Structure formats: structure tokens, C-alpha cells
Amino acid sequence: MLKIENLHVRVEDKEILKGIDLNVNPGEVHAIMGPNGSGKSTLAQVLAGREDYEVTEGTVSFLGEDLLEMAPEERAREGLFMAFQYPVEIPGVSNTYFLKAALNASRKHRSLPEMDAVEFLKLVREKMKLVKMDESLLGRPVNHGFSGGEKKRNEIFHMAVLEPRLAVLDETDSGLDIDALRIVSEGVNSMRSDERSFVVITHYQRLLSHITPDVVHVLVDGRIVQSGGKELALELESKGYSWLEKTYDSTAAVMA
């Protein structure tokens, strides 16, 4: 599904990602954890196609295609979705109609017939239940005046409607209360399938007790320093990131 090899990324003059390798197979959920400033969000942004980030080395292929060659909207139409850490408010653009335009852009790209208003509304109603979203949020402008929790739920709602092949969740859990966290996690869990993969980026282990990952990676200073099963997240929880940062530092020292 997603294959990242030796990915180096710089922002302005600073190298943020220093050689990432990651292989996500269909149906897998990968968690990427790491301390602040380790490069987690940079990885998400690069996958979504943010232009301020410069890839200096390495490759990313998505469903066998060169992801880095695609514009952000092409990535989305090919089935990549990123849930934003800070979803943007867009007054004057309806949350529902905008989503219909987005969905139809993807369907057109895949040579599927465009959905009409009736079909779309049926789909939307069904998906709203998934994230227990109030119907009043449908008529509102995109994220406009939404609370922090509502914004994150709206991201999951967008994901549910767009039905991506690969979803990247960028700290979707940060700042959520337990109820919102449960709703978000249930939304994700209900969408898990053999064909769909997730990359869940988080700072906190808490999310991973709601969404059980197949693989956990720990990102420190732009490199994946450890990968393992879901137990790794628990170990991190008890020992803290400093445990791996220290290990990593000594390894680096030895190597140097």
C-alpha cells in the first residue's frame, strides 16, 4: 500500500526527516509515536503533499505509484486521506456540499459516475451516525465555529464519506476529551478492513488503547529508532520517550 524508503526531508535549512523506511500493507494499522519535534507531523504533511517541505532523498510509493510526483488533490483522489492536526475553518463553504464536490472529484478521477444529491445525502446520514455528529453541523460552513472536538470528529466524518485506501491521522487525538476520543476511535475502528490501511500519528499512548495498532514505530529526531508490536506502546507509556532517546543517543554515539 505505502512504501517509504530512505526518506529525507528538509524545511528551509533544517533537515527534519533523516532517512525513514516504512512499509504499510493493506489492512494494517501503523502507529507512529514520538516526542515533540521528532518529525511526526512532517511525515504526515509530506505524505499529504505540502509544498513547503523539500524531499532531498528517498522515495514514497502509494499503490505502486510515485506519490511524491502527485499534487495533493491527486493523492486524495487516488485514495489518500489526511486528518489534520488543526483542521481549517472555511466560512461560507458548506461542510456538506464541499464534501460532495470532493467526493465527486474522486469518483470522476476513478471513472465512477458522480453522485447525485439524493444518493449523497443518504451516504452522509449513514456516515454521520458513525461519528455521532449532530445533523446541524451538516448545514454549517466547514469547521466554522466548531469546537476542537467537533473539528476532529468532522475530520473523521470526511474520512468516512471519502472512504480512502490509506488514512493518515495526524495527532487526531490531541486535546480530545475521553468521549470525543472514543467517538473518533470507534469511527476509525468501524472503517478498518482488509483493503484499508491507517497511519496513526500520536504523541500519546492513550489513543492506542482504543485503536489497536498492528505495528508501532517510534520516531526520534527524524529517524525510526524502534518498531514493534502494540506492546511497544505500553512500554513507552511506562518508561517515557527519554528511555528511547537515551538508547538512541548512545547508539548514535557508538556509531560515530
Partner 1 sequence: MQAIAERSPLLSKYETFERGLPSHPESIKHLRRQGKDSFEANGLPTTRQEEWRKTNVAAIGRTSFERVSQDTNSLSHEQIRSFLLPDCIDLVFINGRFSHKHSQLEDLPKDIFAGSLANALVQKPELVEAHLGQYADLGHPFVALNSAFIEDGAFIHVPSGVTVEKTIHVLFLATARDGTPTVSYPRNLFVAEESSQVTVVESYGGFRDDRYFTCPVTEIVGLANSVIDHYRLGQESLGAFHVATQKVYLSRDANFFTHSINHGGALVRNDIQALLDAEGIHCTLNGLYLARGSQHVDHQMRVDHAKPNCHSYELFKGILEDRARAVFNGRIYVHQDAQKTDAKQSNRNLLLSKGALVYSNPQLEIFADDVRCTHGSTTGHLDDEAIFYLRSRGIGEEAARSLLTYSFAGEVLDEIRLEAVRKEFEEFLFTRLPKGDIVRQAV
Return residues touching partner 1 (CB under 8 A).
48-51, 71-73, 75-77, 81-82, 84, 87-88, 90-94, 97-106, 109, 141, 158, 162
Least CB distance from residue 120 to partner 1, whole Å? 10
Cα 13 versus chain centre, distance: 26
User: For partner 1, which is the closer residue by CB, 100 or 153?
Assistant: 100
Q: CB of residue 184 vs partner 1: minimum separation in angstroms? A: 18
Smaller CB separation from partner 1, 106 or 185: 106
State how far the Cα of 140 lies from the Cα of 125, in Å rounded to an integer: 15
Whole-angstrom Cα distance, residue 185 to residue 31? Answer: 13
Nearest distance from residue 147's CB to partner 1, in Å? 18
In this complex, which beta carbon is closest to partner 1, that of residue 9 or of residue 233? 9
* DSSP H helices in the chain: 40-48, 72-78, 95-109, 117-130, 136-139, 148-162, 178-191, 231-239, 241-255
Q: What is the closest distance, in whole angstroms, from the C-beta atom of residue 185 to partner 1 in the complex?
A: 22
Task: Report residue 168 CA to chain centroid gap.
Answer: 2
Counting every residue, how long is the chain?
A: 256
Of the pair 11, 105, the CB lying nearest partner 1 is at 105
As a whole number of angstroms, the distance between CA 174 and CA 148 comes to 10
Residue with cell 488533490: 73
Smallest distance from partner 1 to CB 43, Å: 15
Between 43 and 236, name the residue whose CB sits nearer to partner 1: 43
